[in-house]
Each structure stands twice: as structure tokens, then as C-alpha cells.
Amino acid sequence: MLINNINNRIVRKISRQIRPMFNRRMLPIRLAKPLVSFTFDDFPLSAITSGAHYLENEGWRATYYTSAGLEQSENHHGKHFSAQDLCGLEARGHEIAGHTHSHVDLSQISVDQAMTEIQTNHVTLKKMGVKGEISNFAYPYGEASGRLKQALSKKFTSMRGIQGGAHYGCADLNELKSQAIDTQPNFDKAIRIINGLSARPGWLILFMHDIVESPSEWGCTPDKFLQVVQAVKTSGADVLTVSDSLTFLKARASRA
């Protein structure tokens, strides 16, 4: 069993490195100043009470990739959102984006099953009161397949993965990069990238889950989140949702 688990982790790691090279949909990135998008996955209430609260203090908004099936559930990230929370976020200008309904690993099911999960999520979010277009998507656990990427490219404006780093020169709309700030190495990398954006403008998408004093393995403390916010502020970056960033970037590309 241990050997099988190790082998599965190795296969997943190799797949994540190779997959972004295929089924690509490239968007030119032409920026005179940095661009940053804050995104939250799944997501627990602390992503609102801490995350949205701190961002709104700066006049910024985030993208929330939402698994409707997690509504009011509780897990290692803490208590999750309610329909009222989603509607409140949207009313305040945040973007509600797509995930799978049950936060299923898409590499473990067929493309048809994946599309059903995603459509169920979309329908449920609409029933919960989400009014805006759900045009952007994130792969749960960063897992997908080449066939699924191709299928989803006809449904969504963009799909976001979890490959770290920022976008310089171009971005693959079928698997956008995103930088975590959970572990100390990821946090340090995020700060380095942000600090370098002034000299080399790019589009950086940050992603996170819970923001609490004793975070999960995939969360961070309020203090670390505020350090990221301050670094972004110091960089002089524009901060936009993923949807607004794509509108902005496409407009710039069309003028070039």
C-alpha cells in the first residue's frame, strides 16, 4: 500500500509537469505594470471573514472558485460558506467561479462524469442565487487530463491549475498558473515573485484556502496573508479578479 501511494504521487507529479505543455490556449501578456489576482478555493468562511475583509480594505476584490456541494459543511479548513455568503460576496464585487460540485479529483473520473459534476455545480450555484456568469474554472487538486482540458476550453474562458509562478509574456487559458502561499517555501516564493513584479511586470494569480491562526496544511495565518497584501500594495500592482484581469489583458493584446 505504501509503495502504491508513493508511485501514485510520483505519477501525479510527473503528470502536472507534462500536462501544461499540451492542449494549450495562449493569451499574450503585455503589461506596463504588474497585475495580481487573489483567488480562494472551495472555501471556508475564513476566506470571507479574513480574506475578503482584508482585500476590501484595500479596495480589491477576489475570485472564489466554489464547490456548491460544500455549502455549510465543515472539514479540515473549517466551516464553509452559505448561499447568503456567496450572494454577499457577489454583491460586493467579488467573482464567483466554477469548481466541481463535490470537489472531486477530476483525474479519477471520466470526462463525461467530470462534465456532469461541473454542470451540477453550475446549476446549484444559480439556485443558490449567483447572478453573474460563471466563466472561469479551477481544477480541484490541480488535477485534469488532456481530453478534459480540451472539453472545458469550449465551456470556460479560463481554467486555473496549481502550477506555481507568474505569467510573463503569455498565459495558457487552459491551465493558468497560480502561486500558493500555504507552506513556508510557497509563502517565501510568493513574496519573491511579488517583490520582483515592479522590475518585471507580469500577471500573478495567488491561491489560498483557510486564513486562521492555526491553519490547515493548505491554509495560512492572517499575519502571513496581510504580509502578502502589503507586498502586493508596495509593488504598485493593479489587483483584479480573474475575469476582470482577462478582460483587461485581452483588450491590451488586441491593441498591440
CATH top class, domain 30-255: alpha beta
Instruction: Name the nearest CA neighbour of 34 among 235, 254, 183.
Output: 235
Query: Where residue 10 falls among pLDDT bands split at 50, 70, 90?
Result: very low
Q: Which residue has the higher pLDDT, 100 or 255?
A: 100
What integer is the mean pLDDT of 171-193?
A: 97
Instruction: Name the nearest CA neighbour of 62 among 211, 241, 243.
Output: 241
Res 11 pLDDT > 70: no
The pLDDT score that the predictor gives to residue 5 is: 44
Q: Which residue has the higher pLDDT, 97 or 73?
A: 97
Work out whether the CA dihedral 246, 247, 249, 255 comes out positive or negative: positive
Q: What is the pTM of this model?
A: 0.90
Mention every residue, 6+ apart, whose C-beta is less than 8 A from residue 4.
none
Map residue 16 onto helix, strand or coil: helix
The pLDDT score that the predictor gives to residue 146 is: 87
Residues of the chain with pLDDT > 90: what percent?
82
Q: How far is it, in rounded angstroms, from Cα 220 to Cα 67? A: 20
Sketch the domain layout of the chain as residue ranges. Answer: 30-255
What integer is the mean pLDDT of 214-220?
A: 94
Q: How far is it, in rounded angstroms, from Cα 204 to Cα 216? A: 23
Q: How far is it, in rounded angstroms, from Cα 82 to Cα 47? A: 12
Instruction: Name the nearest CA neighbour of 98 among 69, 122, 72.
Output: 122
Q: Which of 4-8, 41-45, 55-59, 211-215 has the lowest mean pLDDT?
A: 4-8
What the block records as the C-alpha cell of 155 is: 465551456
Q: How many CB atoms lie within 10 A of CB 49?
A: 14
Instruction: Name the nearest CA neighbour of 143 among 5, 13, 41, 27.
Output: 13
Work out the mean pLDDT of the chain and round it to a whole number: 91
Q: How far is it, in rounded angstroms, from Cα 69 to Cα 55? A: 26
Res 254 pLDDT > 70: yes
- Name the phi and psi angles at 101, rounded to 5: -65, -45
Angle at 68 between CA 100 and CA 152, to 5 degrees: 30
The pLDDT score that the predictor gives to residue 7 is: 47
The pLDDT score that the predictor gives to residue 26 is: 96
Task: Kindly report, residue by residue over 36-83, the tens digit of the pLDDT.
Answer: 999 999 899 999 999 999 999 999 999 999 999 999 988 888 899 999
C-beta separation of 237 from 74 below 8 A: no
Cross-strand pairs, 42: 66
Task: Kindly report, residue by residue over 129-141, the tens digit of the pLDDT.
Answer: 999 999 999 999 9
Q: Which of 22-26, 30-34, 101-105, 172-176 has the lowest mean pLDDT?
A: 22-26
Mention every residue, 6+ apart, whose C-beta is less than 8 A from residue 255.
none
